[in-house]
Structure 1
Amino acid sequence: MSNQYFESFVSELRDRLKEPLPGRTAQIRMAPKPIDENRFRENPMRPARLGGVMILLYPDRGGVHIPLMKRPEYDGAHSGQVSFPGGKLEDVDTDLVDTALRETHEEIGVPKDNVEVLGSLSELFIIASNFKVLPTIGVVRNKPNFIPDPIEVADVLPMPLAALKDPALRKVKEMKFPPYTIQSPYFDIHGEVVWGATAMMLSEFSYVVDEIEAKLQL
């Protein structure tokens, strides 16, 4: 991918994110089956906490990459899972975009001033942790020097954007959460299972990327 194509891609993505998003139509393609609409509904008696994550784009080896991160094992809903940098809205944050920028700096060492914010995808409610999360799309012009937080991050996993289009990397895994058994679509990234909310956000992003790439190839 040439620098000119990368800049054209970024410009088209910035414009596309100002338009209506595919939302649930795209998210649901990577949602665990059977589809449970309760996964998308907040409980009015238990207001959701707010969180922000960052889908950070950077050029590397002729393509576009996104850093995912593997969380360490801990006593919590997302122990050992692969996710985007991100976390809950704190008092120091002006909004959820600021949350995503702050967490990206804290968790993988990318300074917020280095990141150009292009826009956001659709919010997604995560029933397991009772979070409503806004995915922010950002870009840096050079491959970052990732500095993972030793407490919050077990590993940084660079994912080429091309992985979203590779059918061999889209798989399904049976998961048991007694008394329930689900069939969960996931992305196989570096041998890790990228599923749940992260996969659903990636699904919406993939939908948008497909539109942009089709336009740039005209």
Structure 2
Amino acid sequence: MSTVPAGRGIPGFDPEKTTVVRRDDHLQPLSAGALQAAWVRQRIQSAAQWRPVIQGDAARLDLKPERPPAQAAVLLPLVVRDGQVSSVVLTRRTSHLKHHAGQISFPGGKREPDDASSIATALREAKEEVGLMPQQVDVLGTMPAYKTVTGFVITPVVALLPPDLPWQPDPGEVAEVFEVPLSHLMNPSHHQWHEHEWQGHKRQYLSMPWHDAADQRYFIWGATASMLRNFYHLLADAQPA
């Protein structure tokens, strides 16, 4: 069975309405110790030697895009309160965009020729999209790249942020900036796998739905959910009590 985060461009496809075939409540949520900023920093230092559980749609489907792979980077921004990572900052894309309209994503985008590194790309994109200044960011390092079936090689850049930053979303790209509790995202009982059929094949993708205190629903799925799942496994390996 193939696994691919399909796009909303498929006729009649709504990622929120496909069948949920399983939830991963057999896996343990992260302990309080694994949500400490010091532990996250330690684990990111080991990420270069770590093999991600989900390497990407293209890697698992062995698909070759029509164009050469494009390098991209996203910022995985973690808000720290009293030494504990309390939440992850995500964005909801505007509804008028040509690609991935209305979807939940990390700040980030394609690497430009003037970017010195993936970290530079992620910081530049975060400044452009949500007004996050580089001096506000404590960059911990990068995770292994995630390869998409659309031909992008995305490097997640993990960083710590102070709380209560004044977000300034670019109205042309970002409809909303919001935080999701890390404890929710790092609890696999909230991870669910959907199945749909496309071009004669059954395929699956991951989602992590969340409702805020006002019962606003956020459907986190596809590549964003997969990179968060990799982050869970990185922190869960040899996690402290």
Q: TM-score, normalised by structure 1?
A: 0.79
Q: Which runs of 4+ in 1 moved over 6 A?
A: none
Residue 101 of structure 2, aligned match among 74, 79, 82: 79
Which residue number in structure 2 is paired with residue 48 of structure 1?
69
- The answer to whether the Cα contact below 8 Å between 1:169 and 1:187 also exists between their aligned partners in 2 is yes
Cα drift, residue 179 of structure 1: 5.3
**1:21 maps to 2:28:** no
- The answer to whether the Cα contact below 8 Å between 1:42 and 1:125 also exists between their aligned partners in 2 is no
How much is the aligned-residue C-alpha RMSD, in angstroms?
2.8
Cα drift, residue 127 of structure 1: 1.2
1-side partners of 2:180 and 2:109: how far apart? 20
Which residue number in structure 2 is paired with residue 182 of structure 1?
203
1-side partners of 2:118 and 2:59: how far apart? 27
Structure 2 unaligned regions, length at least 5: 1-31, 212-216
1-side partners of 2:200 and 2:105: how far apart? 26
1-side partners of 2:163 and 2:96: how far apart? 33
Residue 222 of structure 2, aligned match among 193, 196, 211: 196
Structure 1 unaligned regions, length at least 5: none
Which residue number in structure 1 is paired with residue 61 of structure 2?
38
SS in 1 for 2:166: coil
The letter for the 2-side match of 1:196 is G
- The answer to whether the Cα contact below 8 Å between 2:75 and 2:156 also exists between their aligned partners in 1 is yes
1-side partners of 2:98 and 2:59: how far apart? 22
Aligned length: 201
Which residue number in structure 1 is paired with residue 36 of structure 2?
9
Cα drift, residue 183 of structure 1: 3.0
Question: Which residues of 2 match residues 129-208 of structure 1 at below 5 A?
Answer: 130-175=151-196, 177=198, 181-190=202-211, 191-208=217-234
**1:95 maps to 2:101:** no
Cα drift, residue 123 of structure 1: 0.2
Question: 1:51-95 CA distances to partner (integer Å, 9 max, x unpaired)?
Answer: 110001113597511111111224534222111000111133211
The alignment-based identity, stated in percent, is 27
The letter for the 1-side match of 2:236 is D
- The answer to whether the Cα contact below 8 Å between 1:22 and 1:204 also exists between their aligned partners in 2 is no
Specify which structure has the higher proportion of helix. 1
- The answer to whether the Cα contact below 8 Å between 2:45 and 2:140 also exists between their aligned partners in 1 is no
2-side partners of 1:192 and 1:174: how far apart? 19
The letter for the 2-side match of 1:10 is A
Q: TM-score, normalised by structure 2?
A: 0.72
The letter for the 2-side match of 1:203 is R
Cα drift, residue 207 of structure 1: 1.1
